Structure 1
Amino acid sequence: MKHTYSGTFLLLAAAALALLQCQSPSDDDKVSSEKLVTLTGNVINAETGAPLENVVVELRQVDPAQTALSGALGNFSFEFEVTENREVQVIAFKEGFRGDTTSALAVPGRVVQAPLLRLAPTTTAANNSGNAKSIYLYSQSSVGIGIIGAGDPEFAQLVFQAVDSLGRPVDLQHAAQVHFRILSGPGGGEYISPDSALTNGNGRVEAFLFSGFKAGVVQVQARIVKAGIESNPISIAIHGGYPDLAHFSVGPEKLNIPGLLFINLEDKITALVGDKFSNPARPGTAVYFKTGGGVIGAVAQTNENGLASVILRSGLPHPVHPVLGPGFAAVKAQTLDENQDTISVSTLVLFSGYPVISVNPSSGFQIPAGESKIFYYTVKDQNGNPLAQGNSISVEVEGEGTKASGDVGVNLPDTQSPSWTSFLFTVEDISDSVYVRPVTVKVKNTGPNGDAFVTITGSIGH
């Protein structure tokens, strides 16, 4: 009796231990599930759309390769392990049909649906193709992708078509091995996968271009090495990432406009937005603008060069800068970085006013016979700021035996610098006369800020 109780206890303990082991998977099992990929798909008749049963389906570019038969609904599935994203190839064969091939991107720990496989019934031998004589791009999923981590799709699908000398898609009996290569690119780690693949029953083959960490244009080419043929280069743009403050700037088209005099004068404001790799930020990045004077467009989106522009229009309020004073408008551009934090930069636009002219010495000056005199003059607006581009300043001197030199003809550039408000000229007695003669000096401004002049008088020959 005692012996029977002991045996029963041992059996119960063993069962409990086995149950415990079933409920506590090992670390190896957990790692295996993280690598496991389940690939499912379907096969149909290309003419009728009906499911095809008992189709031989091969899975390639995995180790080891696998084979399955499609079910009554044309369905099939594979399970395998990968440690990173990998392009796999699925090939379907059935007697009386032309085979088909497709590719799928296997992602660790995911269930992946393969593109539909379509098998066309075999008709006559006359419809069979010859060997591949040409290859071209059939389709591409996108003309542009984003760098890694930019939030945009990071890969593009490229489908190439191989045809024979009569332009017929090559069939499986004449399937060609197509190799893919990158001819040029930004060199940021971009790559194409797979390196090569076999054309399917429609003569098509596909590859995926994956972006790296740099923006730029990538050129891809497909080649059938044995036939000595290649496709035209295919260009795909890799766009940049999120805005980075160190690569964010803004500036006006015009530094100075007569905005205190007229409303609706236009000045284009452009923001240049780059990512942390010094590439243009991804197209469509929103940039917001605001101004301390006039009215400005609220928002613009960057183009492929990272540029976003709006129009600043003169009008109320007239700007008053806290440091530089009246006339200077601070224009600010803002956007969001990769952490969704607001980053901003600013620039200045000068709203200039009407011209104010002063000359020193003023009327009553005297120039000794045979000598000269220096005159200092200023041309600026009512706030002491320079006038806008397009204003011209001239100095006219009238008097017998006189000559003027120096800043007697000035064309103002587009500037905010006060150095373009102060000038000088010299009036010289070049006659042999010792008689006192009258001299008139006229300093005049003409241009978009308005016309103004100052006249002073004196004498020469004392």
Structure 2
Amino acid sequence: MSHLLPFRLNRVVAIAALVGLVVAGGGCDLGGGGADSVTISGRVVDASSNPVQNAQVTFRFTDATGEEVEENTLTDSLGTFSTTLEVEETTEVTITAAKGEVSTDKAVQVSPDAGSISDLSFGLSFGGDEEREPGRPTDIVLQSQSTDAIRVQESGGTTVARLTFQVVDSTGQAIGLDQAVDVSFRFGQRPDGATLTPETVTTDGSGQATVNVSSGKTAGVVQIVAQTQRPDGTEFESKPVSLTIHGGLPNKCHFSLGPEQSNFPGLTEFGLTNSVRVFVGDKFGNPVVPGTTVYFSTNAGI
């Protein structure tokens, strides 16, 4: 007669889950990923800088398929408006602000990487003043921004962002050539190596001045400020515009991995898990760009 003797297996296994790490830049948009949302906001005022309520703001552009797209919205009691457009590539959008028989428009460059374009200003002149000449400069607003994030040098990604500011009068109307001013650009804050080119620009016939922001080898947040002065010498400046500089490609010399528990009793109970955390940097020691994909493989467990 045979008997089945109960037995108990006690075994401590140290699971080394370090093998076979593959890192890929999954956060980069290389095209073909579909449309991205870009929010455009601004304000409509009259000749006395009072908000214009219920002005119709129309957005027109041609999408990637060649189809004409038109979106409309109305300003609120503060004269502000906001809308979200879906674009797949850098696109010129014509924005028209109108109320009654009075209207004005401007064209802005919209990039799927920009995320948002804010502080647009439109001036409507009522009561027969539609042909009023622009007044003296009183404000600087961001007109367009090619992207809100760039990469460090030698990363294989975009390393330059283009920002266009516009100098306007008290009604929000762009100044002309006869009122042209020199606009200087400076950093509110920056990581090491970031540069501005050029540092000073004279406004064109649309009151615009453009600057290029180039990254260095250090990731971080950049703030750009545009400033100028009125004919009487009074200085004024724009609101700070933020731009993020992300790290580059993953580098094996800047990679760390470790489990939550070093001595893990993996066979004592079914379904136990042990988290593994990794830190991935580029060759300059910056954190890699957000969204970088990390693949794991193991010689035990799942």
| More RCO (CA 8 Å, sep 6+) | 2
C-alpha deviations, 1:281-302, integer Å up to 9, x for none? 233433221122221xxxxxxx
Residue pair 1:179, 1:225 contacting (<8 A) in 2 also: no
- The CA distance in 2 between the partners of 1:213 and 1:126, in whole Å, is 50
Map of 1:348 onto structure 2: none
C-alpha deviations, 1:351-407, integer Å up to 9, x for none? xxxxxxxxxxxxxxxxxxxxxxxxxxxxxxxxxxxxxxxxxxxxxxxxxxxxxxxxx
- The CA distance in 1 between the partners of 2:262 and 2:276, in whole Å, is 10
Map of 1:354 onto structure 2: none
Whether 1:216 aligns to 2:220 is: yes
Which among 279, 291, 299 is matched to residue 272 of structure 1?
A: 279
> Counterparts in 2 of 1:70-81, with a 5 A limit?
none
C-alpha deviations, 1:165-200, integer Å up to 9, x for none? 12222222222211111222111x221111111223
> 1:154: how far off?
0.8
Map of 1:243 onto structure 2: 250
Map of 2:270 onto structure 1: 263
Map of 1:127 onto structure 2: 132
> Counterparts in 2 of 1:277-426, with a 5 A limit?
277-295=284-302
Whether 1:168 aligns to 2:195 is: no
Residue pair 1:199, 1:205 contacting (<8 A) in 2 also: yes
- The CA distance in 2 between the partners of 1:263 and 1:173, in whole Å, is 79
Q: Which amino acid aligns with 1:169?
A: A
Q: Secondary structure of 1:127's match?
A: coil
Change (3 A) 1:267 1:204: farther
Residue pair 1:129, 1:170 contacting (<8 A) in 2 also: yes
Q: Which amino acid aligns with 1:127?
A: R
> 1:160: how far off?
1.2
- The CA distance in 2 between the partners of 1:127 and 1:204, in whole Å, is 19
Q: Which amino acid aligns with 2:270?
A: I
- The CA distance in 1 between the partners of 2:272 and 2:132, in whole Å, is 70
C-alpha deviations, 1:224-253, integer Å up to 9, x for none? 144411111122111122222221111223
Map of 1:232 onto structure 2: 239
Map of 1:442 onto structure 2: none
- The CA distance in 2 between the partners of 1:170 and 1:131, in whole Å, is 7
- The CA distance in 2 between the partners of 1:203 and 1:268, in whole Å, is 56
Which contiguous aligned blocks of 4+ residues in structure 1 show a shift greater than 6 angstroms? none
- The CA distance in 1 between the partners of 2:273 and 2:176, in whole Å, is 63
Residue pair 2:181, 2:229 contacting (<8 A) in 1 also: no
C-alpha deviations, 1:299-353, integer Å up to 9, x for none? xxxxxxxxxxxxxxxxxxxxxxxxxxxxxxxxxxxxxxxxxxxxxxxxxxxxxxx
Q: Which amino acid aligns with 2:145?
A: Q
Q: Secondary structure of 1:266's match?
A: coil
C-alpha deviations, 1:388-433, integer Å up to 9, x for none? xxxxxxxxxxxxxxxxxxxxxxxxxxxxxxxxxxxxxxxxxxxxxx
- The CA distance in 2 between the partners of 1:294 and 1:277, in whole Å, is 34
> 1:135: how far off?
0.9
Q: Which amino acid aligns with 2:280?
A: V
Whether 1:145 aligns to 2:126 is: no
Residue pair 1:132, 1:174 contacting (<8 A) in 2 also: yes
Q: Which structure carries more strand by proportion?
A: 1
Q: Which amino acid aligns with 2:275?
A: K
> 1:256: how far off?
4.6
Q: Secondary structure of 1:126's match?
A: coil
- The CA distance in 1 between the partners of 2:269 and 2:204, in whole Å, is 69
Given the two structures, how large is their TM-score scaled by the length of structure 2?
Answer: 0.52
Q: Which structure carries more helix by proportion?
A: 1
Q: Which amino acid aligns with 1:179?
A: S
Change (3 A) 1:159 1:266: farther
Map of 1:16 onto structure 2: none
Given the two structures, how large is their TM-score scaled by the length of structure 1?
Answer: 0.35
Q: Percent identity?
A: 40
- The CA distance in 2 between the partners of 1:159 and 1:268, in whole Å, is 46
- The CA distance in 1 between the partners of 2:183 and 2:243, in whole Å, is 19
- The CA distance in 2 between the partners of 1:182 and 1:284, in whole Å, is 27
Change (3 A) 1:253 1:231: farther
Q: Which amino acid aligns with 1:223?
A: Q
> Counterparts in 2 of 1:27-38, with a 5 A limit?
none
- Long gaps (5+) in structure 1: 1-99, 101-122, 296-462
Which among 204, 219, 236 is matched to residue 200 of structure 1?
A: 204
Q: Which amino acid aligns with 1:218?
A: V
- Long gaps (5+) in structure 2: 1-105, 107-127
> 1:127: how far off?
2.9
Q: Secondary structure of 1:192's match?
A: strand
